[in-house]
Each structure stands twice: as structure tokens, then as C-alpha cells.
Amino acid sequence: GAVVSQHPSRVICKSGTSVKIECRSLDFQATTMFWYRQFPKQSLMLMATSNEGSKATYEQGVEKDKFLINHASLTLSTLTVTSAHPEDSSFYICSAVTGSLNTEAFFGQGTRLTVV
Amino acid sequence: GIQVEQSPPDLILQEGANSTLRCNFSDSVNNLQWFHQNPWGQLINLFYIPSGTKQNGRLSATTVATERYSLLYISSSQTTDSGVYFCAVLYTGTASKLTFGTGTRLQVTL
């Protein structure tokens, strides 16, 4: 299957700082990428959908100014957690699909963010 | 939005046993996938199965789209099968997005 690479896999940051997470599709062009958040022992919750070259679509309740998403190219999307606080600590994971949304989605390895 | 429920929420099996995991969804979908989340959080693609039946080794899956459910079968379970199994569906509403089910946590013991 296709490969999606997410970096970093683990990050610890101080409260008030910003953290950027990268999601790359290595062997295919991803016109759409999704960002998810997962709390311990819970399911994955969709945060936003990003399409290359356009603004991201955020799910209800997700602060767009807190979670900045940029999908600058067909192989790279970034999620920046701005002014992070301890309650932002979570597991963040991205996925990518090719041009047709009816095709298989592939996921990155995930990023475990801890804000201290 | 669409609701995706999985059952059972938790399952404990002895090695060698068989099991069936179920995924029910509340609306028509264009895509359904099954994943295994390992202890490190990585999501492993198991099946892309919007309809019909597929098999891969000890695993097989069936989706009956008209009745809005999918089943994942695990035969001769092994301890390495432990983890959380998710189904996820893609539907076209106001915006297409992949929605995850509630998950089934599987523990396979010796």
C-alpha cells in the first residue's frame, strides 16, 4: 500500500509554545488529507479536512486559530498547534487519499504530543 | 452526521479461537475500511471493502452496504492480533470525510 510519513512521532513542548507536525505522502499525490485526534482509550476524532491549495475545513468545535493546517503541496500537509496548553496533549494522526475520495485512505504513524 | 457503532467494545479470546467483530453505520457510504491499531498507535490497513467479501490469510471481511453493516472475522487468533480494531466509513454529505467507529479492543491470551 501507499506510504504516509508523519513527523515527529513524539514531541514534548512547554506550555505557550507552538508545535508543527508534518504529514507527507511518499509515493502518491494526496489531494486530500485528514487530521485526527485521539485521546487514550477512545476512537479517532476528525479535526479537519485539508485540500491542496485551499483552506482547510474544520469540524465543529475545533478551533481553527489553535490548530493551523496548511496543505501547500500534493505531498505535504502540516498541523501547527499554536500556544499549546496541557489540554492539547494527545495523539495526532494524519491520513491521505488520492484524487478520488472513494479510494483507500492511508495513515501516518501518529504524533504523541505532551505539553508540560 | 453519520453514526458508526462497533460491537463488542471489548473481547478477550484464548489463542486459537475465532471471533467476529461488527460495524454498523447509520447512512449510505461510499467506502469502508477496517484497521488494526497496534500498541504504538499505528493504524494498519486491513481491508478496503465498500461491499462484498474479501479474505487475507486468517482475516476476512464482509460488507452488506444495503443493510449498513460490515463484519470482520478473525480465525485461529494469535497474541499478535491483540489491539484495537476500527472500522471507518467515507460518506458524501456536505463534505466527504472518513468517520471512525467506536472500536473493539481485542486481547488474545495464551
Cβ–Cβ below 8 Å for B41 and A38? yes
pLDDT of residue A13 exceeding 70: yes
What residues in chain B have per-residue pLDDT under 50? none
pLDDT digits (tens, 9 = 90+) for A86-105: 999 999 999 998 766 567 88
By Cβ distance, the residue of A46, A57, A105 closest to B33 is A105
Q: Which residue is listed with cell 489463542? A: B15
pLDDT digits (tens, 9 = 90+) for B31-42: 899 999 998 899
Q: Which residue is listed with cell 443493510? A: B67
Chain B positions contacting chain A at CB under 8 Å are 30-31, 33, 35, 40-43, 45, 48, 50, 86, 88, 90, 92, 95-103, 105
Q: Is B3 helix (H, G, I), strand (E, B) or coil?
A: coil
By Cβ distance, the residue of B97, B102, B105 closest to A46 is B97
Query: Residues near A112 by Cβ (< 8 Å), separated by ≥ 6?
Result: A9, A10, A11, A91, B41
Which residues sit opposite A90 in a β-bridge? Answer: A113
Would you state the pLDDT for residue B96? 66
Chain A residue closest in CA terms to B103? A43
CA A33 to chain centre: 8
Question: Which one of A43-57, A61-75, A81-95, B30-44 scores highest in mean pLDDT?
Answer: A81-95
C-alpha–C-alpha distance, residues A67 and A47, integer Å: 9
Would you state the pLDDT for residue A97? 84
Would you state the pLDDT for residue B95? 58
